[in-house]
Chains A and B, each alone.
Chain A
Amino acid sequence: MLWSVNVSNNKAGINYYEILEVSDNATRKEIVEAYQRAKSVYSKDSMALYSLYSDEDSTNMINLIEEAYQVLINPQRRELYNREHNINSHRSVVNIIFDKPGELGRSFVETPNFGEQENSYEDPKINKAAFKAYVSVSKQESAKKAPEYKSDDTMESKIRSEEEFSGNFFTEVRKYKNMNLGYLSSVTKVAVYHLEALEREDYKTLPARVYVRGFVKSYAQSLGLDRDKAVTAYMKRYDQAFKK
């Protein structure tokens, strides 16, 4: 959205999290980093604005970034803002451990080694506790033994006759088979946040179609479902969603 131009008459539609490009669950550290980044992206001398933003647009945008930061960095104001905007900012364990590529992923970030800047670049900080948890979970799960579950006739026959293979159905089967997303992610090698999006049928946050197809296939197979049937049904819905 071109917030910079319509700032005044469009206040209601402004989402501070989107402005800073952080998730609803962002930590204070993430908010500070995002704020600094956003300020440099939208400053007047930022090359990325070239041909799109006037100086005035840039100023408006920076003001908006300041405003968003002042609210989100203050716990009371953030809480109030969340309540007013119906934003649910709970942090589940899965979120902290897997769903925060911003925290964990930094350990996988390579940074270019440009001679003169070699020393000035600070090592990305890793959230040690989350990382530990992540490592221990993945170790545990690297055995890749499917969890045990109690077989249930109704559920088994439902699985056999399934035609739709909706995201909800996947979640249901997954829970029935006592599998958590962390485990599935380790077998399928598909990131937890992608699997979650698959289950929610949140197509927008999924990557390109070719990948989604691969995800569904691996996912269905790992759940012990008829993978070809699952892919066909799921992708049909996916395609319709985009066609409609």
Chain B
Amino acid sequence: MGVIFSKQGLNDASSEYIQPVTKDGGKERVIISVGGGKGGVGKTLIAANLGIMLAREGRRVILIDLDLGGANLHTCLGVDLPKSTLSDFMQKDVTNLSDILIETPINNLRLISGAQDILDIANIKYMQKVRFINKLKELDADYIILDLGAGTSFNTLDFFLASDIGIVTIVPEPTSIENVYRFIKSAFYRKLKNAESSLKIKKMVDDIMKNRIANGISTPSDLLKKIEETEQDIGEAVRKEMASFSPKLIINMVRSQTDVEIGHAVSSVCRKYFGIETELLGYIEYDNLVWQSIRKKNPVILEFPNSKLISDFNRVYKRIINPNIRFIDGALER
């Protein structure tokens, strides 16, 4: 994706983390997306706070609200209902995404809103999507954060797959867990689908999937096994696709140690059941401060900077920008 990372101040022992650097002339950026399938699990909260944290450290950040139809990222940031939105871009009267950028009260942080969009994410045409993703890569920023909204439409999955770091939000409830598995599974099949022409596996996958019941395929790893039985080389290629697919998990609204462990458990199940490696970035506690800050239309991190919630966010944030810092839990740690 053309992103170059360098250790900030390589020779400076005090500096610990990685940041994107701009290669001479070229604009390099990291795209992070926040999804998770289910509605109301905290995707917007996470995207907004992540954006603010990066911006406060001097990174130039653009937050994009792709929750068309349910856009509320602007409210989380204390921005009034924006005049220009993604609709203006998708419907072509606006050429560049930079034309619909909105300043926020936070330095270095800008927003592209999907508010009041007549468009539904599922109805964005293929060409519109391609154009959007291409233009995304022209934006002048260090980090671009996509708030994906709920659901597993192809468009949502494609935005997830187009990002460098894909975050999946879970809350410790059966419904959320079900949706997370569906999201991860759909994203993986979508990734495979997108790679089909280069992998030359279309016909094989189609044939196998057509008889998926008879073939006993219910997971990506079953599919892999079947492909490997049929043709070893292609199996190897699919295995590589699988290895390069590694969603990050955040478990939100936790109220107990047991809830935190659900995060680890989901990660274990993804590995065993799907054959997909995920990484648990950490947990965020349930905290009433969230709604208090939303009522004040002020981001929680600005309203309650010293809260426990914000220290949760801080730890998650650190693990995103520096993969050396991991949420370790004995044997589940790779």
Contacts and interface: CB of A to CB of B under 8 A. Distances in A.
A225 to B, nearest CB: 14
B329 interface: yes
A56 to B, nearest CB: 14
Contacts of A113: 308
Interface residues of B, number: 69
Contacts of B43: none
A20 interface: yes
A189 interface: yes
B257 A114 contact: yes
Contacts, number: 168
A50 B178 contact: yes
Given A47-B177, A189-B324, A53 B273 contact: yes
A191 B324 contact: yes
B219 A48 contact: no
Contacts of A5: 216
B191 to A, nearest CB: 11
Interface stretch (B10-18, B69-77, B106-114, B117-125): B10-18
B333 interface: yes
A51 to B, nearest CB: 4
Given A2-B218, A40-B261, A144-B13, A210 B1 contact: yes
Interface of A: 1-5, 19-22, 26, 30-31, 33-34, 37-38, 40-41, 46-53, 61, 101-102, 105-106, 108-114, 117, 121, 142, 144, 187-191, 194, 203-205, 207-211, 213-214, 217-218, 221-222, 231, 241-244
28 contacts: A1-B272, A2-B272, A19-B272, A21-B268, A34-B332, A37-B331, A38-B268, A41-B264, A46-B265, A48-B268, A49-B269, A50-B174, A113-B308, A114-B256, A121-B257, A144-B13, A187-B10, A190-B324, A208-B246, A209-B244, A210-B30, A214-B4, A214-B5, A214-B18, A217-B5, A217-B6, A221-B10, A242-B240
